[in-house]
C-alpha cells in the first residue's frame, strides 16, 4: 500500500494531476492558478506539466470563470474552477445558482454539468475582510449542487478526484487553515464514497458533528474531554449536500447528545439543518437539546478579533458541558 | 428620431434594392442567394409571425403562463439563423422562436416552456435540434456559455482548418437591455482573450421592457465591443438580406479562426415585451409608426413582388402559416400536465438521498387522497 505524508494543499494538487492524467477533458481555470500556482499554491507546477490549454490563467472575473466553465461543460469538458477566496465567490453566485445548478434539471436528463468549483474557505489565518468566510450554506440551499468539504489530506486527495468524476456540479470547499499540516494519503484506494460522513473518533457520552477545519478542533476537544473522563464521538460530515445522516443518527442513538460545530454563522446554517433533522428522526434518543457551536450572526470580524467570533475547543467543551448537564 | 442610420442595408424601406455605403464586403453573400432562398426567408418570417399571434392568443385564453412575441424582429432572426451552418451552435435568449424553428426544434418545446409544463423544452444533444441550446431567462448569462463553448471549440481545434463542414462557430443572441449586464461584458473579455469563434448578435429592439436603449448606453451599442478588441458592425435588422449577409460574413470569419465579432441589429419590438407588459405606458405613437413603416415582412414582400414572385406563392405561405398555427393550437390544448417525476427526477444526474426521500413522501401523500396519479 502506497502511503505518502502530504499537506492537504499538495494532496489536492496530486489529486488534480491524477484526474487530469486519467481524463484529458479535465481542465483547470481560475485567477493566478497557472504560472503562479494559485495564491495558496494548490495548483503549483500543473501548468508546467499539462500546458496552457489544460490550466487557464483566466481574466479576473468570477462570473466569467463559472459561466465559461458551463459552456466548456456543454462542449464535453470537465472544468475545475478555482475561486481565489471564499468572499470572492459572489460575483459568480448568479451563474452557479441560476445556471450551473439548474441546467441538469432544465435539460430533463439530457444535460450533464460536470463542473467543480474549488473554494478555499474558513478562518484562522489572520486575513482581512472577505478572506475568511464560510459561505457553504448558500450553496447547500440550492438544489442541483453538491457541496463537500474534506478535512484531511487523504480525503482531499480522493474527494477532489471523485468530485471531478461526478456528473453533477460540485462545490468543493477547501479548509484553508488546514492546507499546510501533513497527513497520510493512501494513493491506492479511497476509504469512503464522496457523500459519506465518517466517524473520526468513537465515543459514548456525546456526539460532535462538523466539517472542514472544525473536525480538527472537535478531535482536540474530544482528546481534552477524555482526560476528564468524558467520551466524545466525532463525526466528519465530509459532504454538506447531500448529508449522510446514517452515522449521525446511529451515533445520537448511542450517545443521546449532539453538539453541532461550524465556523459559519449559526442562523439558517448547516448546523441548524442537522439539528432539525436529528430532532425529527431521533427525538426519542435525545437526552438533551441539540446545541450549535457557531460563529456569531455578525459579519466575519477584523482578524485581530477573529478568535472572539470563531468557535474554539473551549466553546465546544462548554457546549458539551451544557449538554451533559441537561 | 435619434436612431443612427444603419451601417449595412441592402433593402430600402420600400423594398427596393439599394445597398448602403459600407455594405460592399457583404454584397457577395447577398448576390449568392437564390430565388428559393429568398422565398424561404419570407416563408420563415411570415410563418413565425402567425405563430406569435397564435401564441399570444393562447396566452390571452389562459392556455399559457406567458408569451414573449418576436413581432418586428423577424428579419434580424431569420437572416442570422439562415446564415448558420449545420455544425454551428446557437445560444438564444428567450425570444428567438424562428431561430429555433430554422435549426429544427419542434416549437412545441417553446410552447411547453411558456405554458408552464417544463423548464426545458428540447434536447440540445439530439442532432435534429440543430445545436439550438436552451432558452435562458437570466439576462446575459448565455453569452458566457457561448463564449465558454467557443473556448472548447478552439481547444478541440475545430476552427481555422479550412474545412467548411467541420469548422464551427457559435452565435449568441441577446438584447439591448442585456448589454448592461456584467456577464455580457465579461463574455466579451473572455471572447477577446481566448479569440473564441463567437458571434455576438445583439438585437437592439430599442426597449428593455420599458426602459429605452438610451439609458443603457450613451454611445451606439455596436461601438462598445471595439473597446474590448472585438470588431463590430451595425446592420439594419429589419432587412433580412442585410442581417443574413452580415451574419454569414462574421460566422465565416469565426469558423476561419479570426476570433469573435459583434453585430448590432437595429430593430424594433412592435408591441409588448411579453403578454404581461403594457407598452402603451412607454412607447410613443411617433416612434411606433416609424418602425411599423419599416416592417421587415412588408419590406421583403415588396422586394419579392418587384422580383416577380407570384400571388400563388404568397397564398401558399399564408396557408402554411395558418396550418402551422392551427397545429400549435391543437397540440397546446392537448398538452398533459407534468407528473411528480418531473418535479424530482432530473435535479441531479445521479441519485441524491434528500430528493429520493421527498419524492417517495410526496407520492405517498398524494396517494393518501385515493386519486390516481
Lowest mean pLDDT among A143-147, A272-276, B43-47, B333-337: B333-337
Domain count, chain A: 2
The residue of chain A nearest to residue B109, with distances taken between CA atoms, is: A107
- Give yes or no: residues A107 and A20 share one domain: yes
SS3 content of chain A, % helix, strand, coil (to 5): 40, 20, 40
Please report, for the domain that includes residue A303, its CATH number: 3.40.50.920
Is the CB of B186 less than 8 angstroms away from the CB of A103? Answer: no
Residue where a domain stops, chosen among A186, A210, A245: A186
What is the Cα–Cα distance from B207 to B216, expressed in whole angstroms?
A: 9
3-class state of residue A198 by DSSP: strand
Mean pLDDT on A71-84: 98
Residues in a beta bridge with B89: B170
3-class state of residue A184 by DSSP: strand
Reply yes or no on domain B24-338 having CATH 1.10.10.1100. Answer: no
Residue A304 sits at φ, ψ, to 5 deg, of -65, -20
Is the CB of A69 less than 8 angstroms away from the CB of B355? Answer: no
What is the Cα–Cα distance from B302 to B280, expressed in whole angstroms?
A: 29
Mutation pick from B116, B146, B190 vs chain A, by most beta carbons of A within 10 Å, is: B190
Judged against a pLDDT cut of 60, whether residue B372 lies above it is answered with: no
- Give yes or no: residues A28 and A157 share one domain: yes
Please report, for the domain that includes residue A9, its CATH number: 3.40.50.970
Give pLDDT tens digits for A156-213.
999 999 999 999 999 999 999 999 999 999 999 888 999 999 999 999 999 999 999 9
What is the Cα–Cα distance from B332 to A314, expressed in whole angstroms?
A: 64
A269 touching B (Cβ < 8 Å): no
Give pLDDT tens digits for B69-92.
999 999 999 999 999 999 999 999
What is the Cα–Cα distance from A164 to A170, expressed in whole angstroms?
A: 8
- Give yes or no: residues A153 and A176 share one domain: yes
Give pLDDT tens digits for B129-179.
999 999 999 999 999 999 999 999 999 999 999 999 999 999 999 999 999
| Shortest Cα distance, chain B CAs vs residue A192, angstroms | 17
What is the Cα–Cα distance from B340 to B263, expressed in whole angstroms?
A: 43
- Give yes or no: residues A150 and A124 share one domain: yes
- Give yes or no: residues A46 and A80 share one domain: yes
Question: Please, are residues A79 and A116 in contact by the beta-carbon 8 Å criterion?
Answer: yes
Residue B370 confidence class, pLDDT cut points 50, 70, 90: confident
Report the percent of chain A where pLDDT is more than 90. Answer: 98
Give pLDDT tens digits for B103-115.
999 999 999 999 9
Taking alpha carbons only, the member of A77, A18, A88 closest to residue A50 is A18
- Give yes or no: residues A179 and A283 share one domain: no
What is the Cα–Cα distance from A68 to A84, expressed in whole angstroms?
A: 17
Residue A193 lies in a domain: no
Mean pLDDT on A138-150: 98
Q: Whole-number mean pLDDT of chain B?
A: 95
pLDDT, residue B1, reads 44
pLDDT, residue A190, reads 87
- H/E element, A16: helix A8-22
Residue where a domain stops, chosen among A137, A157, A186: A186
Residue A145 lies in a domain: yes
What is the Cα–Cα distance from B299 to B301, expressed in whole angstroms?
A: 5
- Give yes or no: residues A156 and A21 share one domain: yes
Question: Please, are residues A174 and A12 in contact by the beta-carbon 8 Å criterion?
Answer: yes
Is the CB of B354 less than 8 angstroms away from the CB of A242? Answer: yes
ipTM: 0.96
Give pLDDT tens digits for A205-255.
999 999 999 999 999 999 999 999 999 999 999 999 999 999 999 999 999
pLDDT, residue B271, reads 87
Is the CB of A99 less than 8 angstroms away from the CB of B156? Answer: no
Residue A136 lies in a domain: yes
What is the Cα–Cα distance from A30 to A57, expressed in whole angstroms?
A: 6
Report the percent of chain B where pLDDT is more than 90. Answer: 95
B310 exposure class (CB count in 10 Å sphere: 0-12, 13-18, 19+): exposed
pLDDT, residue B6, reads 56
Extract the runs of DSSP E, i.e. beta strands, from A155-278: 170-175, 182-186, 198-201, 206-210, 232-236, 239-241, 258-265
Residues in A closer than 8 angstroms to B118, CB to CB, are 108
Mean pLDDT on B39-51: 98
Question: Please, are residues B100 and B124 in contact by the beta-carbon 8 Å criterion?
Answer: no
The DSSP bridge pattern shows strands A239-241 and A146-148 to be: antiparallel
- Give yes or no: residues A72 and A113 share one domain: yes
* Domain span at A289: 198-325
Residue A141 confidence class, pLDDT cut points 50, 70, 90: very high
Mutation pick from A24, A51, A55, A64 vs chain B, by most beta carbons of B within 10 Å, is: A64
What residues does each domain of chain B span?
24-338, 339-373
Based on C-alpha coordinates, what's the Rg of chain B? 21
- Give yes or no: residues A202 and A173 share one domain: no
* CA B236 vs CA B8, B13, B74, B203: distances in Å: 6, 10, 12, 10
Judged against a pLDDT cut of 70, whether residue B2 lies above it is answered with: no
Residues in a beta bridge with B132: B90
CA B332 to chain centre: 22
- The residue annotated as part of the active site, out of A124, A131, A195, A211, is A131
What is the Cα–Cα distance from A57 to A46, expressed in whole angstroms?
A: 12
Taking alpha carbons only, the member of B187, B294, B229, B267 closest to residue A70 is B187
Is the CB of B141 less than 8 angstroms away from the CB of A95? Answer: yes
Largest CA distance in chain A: 60
Residue where a domain stops, chosen among A126, A151, A186: A186
Mean pLDDT on B220-225: 97
pLDDT, residue B7, reads 84
- Give yes or no: residues A314 and A217 share one domain: yes
Handedness of CA B207, B211, B214, B220 (dihedral sign): negative
pLDDT, residue A275, reads 98
Mean pLDDT on B211-228: 96
Residue A67 lies in a domain: yes
Q: Whole-number mean pLDDT of chain A?
A: 97
Handedness of CA A129, A131, A136, A142 (dihedral sign): positive
- Give yes or no: residues A223 and A306 share one domain: yes
- H/E element, B79: helix B74-82
A187 exposure class (CB count in 10 Å sphere: 0-12, 13-18, 19+): middle
Residues in A closer than 8 angstroms to B183, CB to CB, are 63-64, 67, 94-95
What is the pTM (predicted TM-score) of this model? 0.97
The residue of chain A nearest to residue B118, with distances taken between CA atoms, is: A106
Amino acid at each position: 500500500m502506497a502511503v505518502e505524508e502530504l499537506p492537504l494543499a499538495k494532496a489536492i494538487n496530486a489529486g488534480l494531476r491524477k484526474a487530469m492524467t486519467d481524463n484529458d477533458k479535465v481542465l483547470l481555470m481560475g485567477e493566478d492558478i497557472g504560472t503562479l500556482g494559485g495564491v495558496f499554491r494548490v495548483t503549483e507546477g500543473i501548468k508546467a506539466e499539462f500546458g496552457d490549454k489544460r490550466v487557464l490563467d483566466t481574466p479576473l472575473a468570477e462570473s466569467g470563470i463559472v459561466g465559461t466553465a458551463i459552456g466548456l461543460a456543454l462542449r464535453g469538458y470537465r472544468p475545475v474552477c478555482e475561486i481565489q477566496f471564499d468572499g470572492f465567490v459572489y460575483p459568480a453566485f448568479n451563474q452557479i445558482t441560476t445556471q450551473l445548478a439548474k441546467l441538469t434539471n432544465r435539460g430533463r436528463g439530457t444535460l450533464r454539468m460536470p463542473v467543480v468549483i474549488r473554494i478555499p474557505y474558513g478562518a484562522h489565518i489572520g486575513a482581512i475582510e472577505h478572506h475568511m468566510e464560510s459561505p457553504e450554506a448558500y450553496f447547500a440551499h440550492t438544489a442541483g449542487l453538491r457541496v463537500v468539504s474534506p478535512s484531511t489530506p487523504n480525503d482531499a486527495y480522493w474527494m477532489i478526484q471523485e468530485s471531478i468524476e461526478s456528473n453533477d456540479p460540485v462545490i468543493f470547499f477547501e479548509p484553508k487553515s488546514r492546507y499546510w499540516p501533513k497527513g497520510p494519503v493512501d494513493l491506492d484506494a479511497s476509504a469512503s464514497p464522496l457523500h459519506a460522513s465518517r466517524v473520526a473518533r468513537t465515543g459514548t457520552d456525546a456526539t460532535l458533528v462538523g466539517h472542514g477545519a472544525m473536525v480538527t478542533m472537535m478531535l482536540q476537544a474530544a482528546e481534552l474531554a477524555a482526560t476528564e473522563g468524558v467520551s466524545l464521538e466525532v463525526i466528519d460530515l465530509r459532504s454538506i449536500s447531500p448529508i449522510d445522516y446514517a452515522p449521525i443518527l446511529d451515533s445520537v442513538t448511542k450517545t443521546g447528545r449532539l453538539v453541532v460545530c461550524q465556523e459559519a454563522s449559526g442562523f439558517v446554517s448547516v448546523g441548524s439543518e442537522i439539528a432539525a433533522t436529528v430532532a425529527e428522526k431521533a427525538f426519542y434518543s435525545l437526552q438533551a437539546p441539540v446545541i450549535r457551536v457557531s460563529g456569531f450572526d455578525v459579519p466575519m470580524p477584523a482578524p485581530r478579533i477573529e478568535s472572539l467570533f470563531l468557535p474554539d475547543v473551549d466553546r465546544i467543551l462548554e457546549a458539551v458541558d451544557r449538554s451533559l448537564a441537561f | 428620431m435619434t436612431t443612427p442610420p444603419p451601417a449595412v442595408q441592402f433593402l430600402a424601406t420600400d423594398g427596393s434594392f439599394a445597398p448602403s455605403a459600407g455594405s460592399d464586403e457583404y454584397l457577395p453573400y447577398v448576390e449568392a442567394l437564390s430565388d428559393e432562398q429568398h422565398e424561404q426567408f419570407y416563408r420563415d418570417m411570415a410563418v413565425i409571425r402567425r405563430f406569435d399571434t397564435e401564441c399570444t392568443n393562447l396566452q390571452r385564453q389562459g392556455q399559457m403562463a406567458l408569451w414573449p412575441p418576436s413581432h418586428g424582429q423577424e428579419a434580424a432572426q431569420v437572416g442570422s439563423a439562415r446564415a448558420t451552418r449545420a455544425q454551428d451552435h446557437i445560444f438564444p435568449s428567450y425570444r428567438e422562436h424562428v431561430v429555433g424553428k430554422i435549426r429544427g426544434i419542434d416549437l412545441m418545446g417553446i410552447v411547453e416552456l411558456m405554458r408552464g409544463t417544463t423548464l426545458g423544452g428540447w434536447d440540445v444533444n439530439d442532432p435534429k435540434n440543430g445545436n439550438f441550446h436552451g432558452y435562458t431567462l437570466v439576462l446575459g448569462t448565455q453569452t458566457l456559455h457561448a463564449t465558454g463553448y467557443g473556448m472548447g471549440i478552439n481547444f478541440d481545434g475545430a476552427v481555422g482548418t479550412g474545412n467548411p463542414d467541420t469548422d464551427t462557430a457559435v452565435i449568441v443572441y441577446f438584447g439591448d437591455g442585456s448589454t448592461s449586464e456584467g456577464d455580457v461584458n465579461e463574455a466579451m473579455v473572455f471572447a477577446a482573450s481566448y479569440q473564441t469563434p463567437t458571434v455576438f448578435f445583439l438585437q437592439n429592439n430599442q426597449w428593455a421592457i420599458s426602459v429605452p436603449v438610451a439609458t443603457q448606453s450613451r454611445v451606439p451599442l455596436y461601438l462598445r465591443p471595439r473597446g474590448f478588441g472585438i470588431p463590430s458592425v451595425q446592420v439594419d435588422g429589419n432587412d433580412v438580406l442585410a442581417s443574413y449577409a452580415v451574419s454569414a460574413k462574421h460566422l465565416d470569419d469565426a469558423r476561419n479562426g479570426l476570433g469573435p465579432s459583434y453585430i448590432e441589429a437595429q430593430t424594433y419590438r412592435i408591441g409588448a415585451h411579453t403578454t404581461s407588459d403594457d407598452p402603451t405606458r412607454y412607447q410613443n405613437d411617433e416612434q411606433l409608426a416609424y418602425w411599423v413603416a419599416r416592417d421587415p415582412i412588408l419590406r421583403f414582400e415588396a422586394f419579392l413582388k418587384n422580383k416577380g414572385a407570384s400571388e400563388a406563392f404568397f397564398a401558399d405561405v399564408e396557408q402554411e402559416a395558418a396550418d402551422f398555427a392551427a397545429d400549435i393550437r391543437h397540440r397546446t390544448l392537448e398538452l398533459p400536465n407534468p407528473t411528480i417525476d418531473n418535479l424530482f427526477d432530473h435535479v441531479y444526474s445521479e441519485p441524491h438521498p434528500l430528493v429520493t426521500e421527498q419524492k417517495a413522501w410526496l407520492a405517498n401523500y398524494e396517494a393518501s387522497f385515493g386519486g390516481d396519479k
